[in-house]
Amino acid sequence: MAVVEASYGFHFAQPLWLLLAALVVPVVWLAKRSLRQLNTLRRVAAVVLRVLVVLILVALLARPTITRSDKRMTLIAILDRSQSVPAGLQADALKYLAKALEKKRPGDQLAVVDVGEAAMIACLPSSGVGIPERNTTLTGDQTALAEGVQLAMAIAPPETGIRMLVVSDGNQTTGDMKEAARIAAANKIPIDVLPLQYEYPQEVVFNRLVAPPTARSGETVALRFVLHSTAAARGQLMLTLNGQPVDLNPGSPGMTAPVTLKSGANVETISLPIGQGGMHKFECTFIPDPGNPPQDTLTQNNRASGMTFVAGPGQVLVVGDGKDADSLLAKLRSAKIEARQCPVADFASSLAELLGTDALVLVNTPCSGFTYEQQEMICRYVTELGGGRHRRSNCPRGRWCSSCTPARCRRATTGASGWPSPPSTPSAAWTWWGCWSTAGAGGRPTGCTSLSRPATRPRPSPLSNACKWATCRISGPP
C-alpha cells in the first residue's frame, strides 16, 4: 500500500478583508445606545448576535481556504527514441534512470512517454513501473519533442507534484519545443533535461533541397542541394523526379553525379529542364563512396525533397463515367479544349493535385461518392483558388439537391433553363460567389454573365477564362 504523505492547513485567500472586523466596535456602541430599553440578558444576546453576523460576513469576504499539501512526486520521463541517438547511448541513459529509480520515496510515481515521429504513452503514472528498454511501434525517423511534452502534461495526475525529464539529444525535427516549455512553465511544471551528447567524426547530413515553388512548362529550373559534412567526404547524388530517376551525368554509364564535400556547409546546383505541367516532386539522396573508415555514419539523414508546380495550358477535369461523361469529354476535345476524365473513385485527395486544373465538371456524381474532405476541397478549389465548377446531372427535380451535388453547395432557386438562378429581390442573405454560365449545346456552358447581387456584396473576382466552363455557386438561406 502506498504511503500518503499529506498535511492540511488553513488560511484566508484574501486576508485584507479581515480589516473590516474593526466594524465590531461601532456595532457594539450603537447596539448599547439603541437597546437600552431591553433588559440586560436580551441586550447582551442582541449585541453578541450582531457581532457574530459582522464577523461571519468579514470571514466570508476573506475567503477561508483549507489546503492539502501532498509530498508525493510524479516523474514523467520523455524518452527520445529517434534513430539519431545511438543505440548504445540510449541503453546507457536507461540504465542511469533505472539506478535513480531505486532511491525513489514510497508513494512517488513514474510515467514514460516515448517520442519519435509521434509521441505515445509507454507507461501511465504508477508507483511500481519500470522503464521499457525499447519501443517497437515508432520508426524513429522524426523527433517530436514538443508533442511529447504536451502528452506528458495531459497524463499528469493532479493530486501529486509533477516534474518532467526530457532524455534527448535535442535535435527536434517537428513541433515547437520552446512553446511547449512555456505552456509547462505556465502550469508550474518544471522540466529537467538529461542531454545525450555524442559526436560522429565522419557524418554527412542532407539539410534541404531548394526547388522553385513555381515554373512554366518547358522551363529549366535550378535545384540547390544543401549538405553539411563533419569532415571531407566523397559520394554520389541520385535525383528522382516523380519517382523516376534523372540522369545527372549523361557522359557516363551511371545516372548519378559525383560530388566532393568539404568540412562544413556545401551547396551543389543542378539545372534541369522540366516538361509537362502539374505538381512535380524532386527527391535527392547522397550515397557515400565505400571506404575505411566509412565516409558517412548514418544513412537516415542523407535524403531531402522539394516540390515545384509547373503551370501548363488550361485543362478541364471531367469527373464521372458512363456515356454522358464520354460524350462531354469528346465535345470538349472537339472544341480544342484540353480535357481529361477520371471516375469518382479516383478523384483527387488533396488540393495540390488540382492546381493544374482550371475547371471541374461533375457528371452525374452523387454527394455520397465524395468523402467529406473531398467536398470541402471542392469548395476551397472554387472559393480560394478561383477554379471553376460545373455540374451536369439528370436529376428529375431540375435543381441542386443533396442527392446530386456536394453537401457544401446549398440549394438555390431554379430558372427556366434548369440552372440555379439568383433570387428576384437580392438581399444581404444571399452571397454572390462568382460567375454565371448558361447551358449551351451538349450541356457545355457558353458564356458568363453577372448575377444580381446586393450593393454591399462586391464582386469577389473579375470574370476570367475559368468562367467559360464553370458555374460558380450562389448560397442562400438553407
Confidence of residue 466 (pLDDT cuts 50, 70, 90): very low
Confidence of residue 392 (pLDDT cuts 50, 70, 90): low
62-71, 291-300, 437-446: least confidently modelled range:
437-446
Confidence of residue 226 (pLDDT cuts 50, 70, 90): very high
Determine the pLDDT at residue 151: 94
In the 3-class helix/strand/coil scheme, how is 381-428 assigned residue by residue?
A: HHHCCCCEEEEECCCCCCCCCCCCCCCCCCCCEECCCCCEECCCCCCC
Where does a domain end: 262, 288, 311?
A: 311
Would 244 be classed as within a structural domain? yes
Q: Kindly state whether residues 186 and 170 are assigned to the same domain.
A: yes
Identify which has the larger pLDDT, 430 or 86. Answer: 86
Pairwise CA distance, residues 452 & 415, whole Å = 13
Q: Kindly state whether residues 323 and 461 are assigned to the same domain.
A: yes
Q: Kindly state whether residues 155 and 212 are assigned to the same domain.
A: no
31-45, 208-222, 389-403, 416-430: least confidently modelled range:
416-430
Would 2 be classed as within a structural domain? no
Q: Kindly state whether residues 329 and 466 are assigned to the same domain.
A: yes
Total domain count, the chain = 4
Q: Kindly state whether residues 81 and 55 are assigned to the same domain.
A: no
Instruction: Kindly tell me if the per-residue pLDDT of 225 is higher than 90.
Output: yes
Would 50 be classed as within a structural domain? yes
Q: Kindly state whether residues 270 and 145 are assigned to the same domain.
A: no
Which of 212-216, 269-273, 282-286, 463-467 is the most confident on average? 282-286
Report the mean per-residue pLDDT for the chain: 77
Q: Kindly state whether residues 229 and 372 are assigned to the same domain.
A: no
Determine the pLDDT at residue 475: 33
Parent domain of 410: 316-475
Q: Tell me, what amino acid is at 387?
A: G
Instruction: Kindly tell me if the per-residue pLDDT of 69 is higher than 80.
Output: no
Determine the pLDDT at residue 198: 83
User: Could you tell me the CATH number of the domain that includes residue 143?
Assistant: 3.40.50.410
Tell me what the mean pLDDT of segment 374-389 comes to.
78
Tell me what the mean pLDDT of segment 357-386 comes to.
82
pLDDT cut 90: percent of the chain above it: 24
Determine the pLDDT at residue 401: 38
DSSP state of 213: S
C-alpha pair distances (Å), 463 with each of 329, 438, 450: 24, 14, 9
Q: Kindly state whether residues 189 and 265 are assigned to the same domain.
A: no
Identify which has the larger pLDDT, 229 or 461. Answer: 229
Q: Kindly state whether residues 320 and 413 are assigned to the same domain.
A: yes
Pairwise CA distance, residues 168 & 81, whole Å = 8
Determine the pLDDT at residue 312: 65
Q: Kindly state whether residues 320 and 462 are assigned to the same domain.
A: yes
Q: Which single residue is written with the C-alpha cell 488540393?
A: 351
Would 290 be classed as within a structural domain? yes
Where does a domain end: 143, 168, 195?
A: 195
Q: Kindly state whether residues 65 and 38 are assigned to the same domain.
A: yes
Where does a domain end: 195, 222, 252?
A: 195
Q: Kindly state whether residues 158 and 250 are assigned to the same domain.
A: no
Identify which has the larger pLDDT, 351 or 470. Answer: 351
Tell me what the mean pLDDT of segment 163-189 comes to.
91
Residue 277 and residue 313 in contact, taking contact as beta carbons nearer than 8 Å: yes
Would 356 be classed as within a structural domain? yes
Q: Tell me, what amino acid is at 406?
A: P
Instruction: Kindly tell me if the per-residue pLDDT of 154 is higher than 90.
Output: yes
Q: Which of 349, 277, 339 is nearest to 312 (CA)?
A: 277
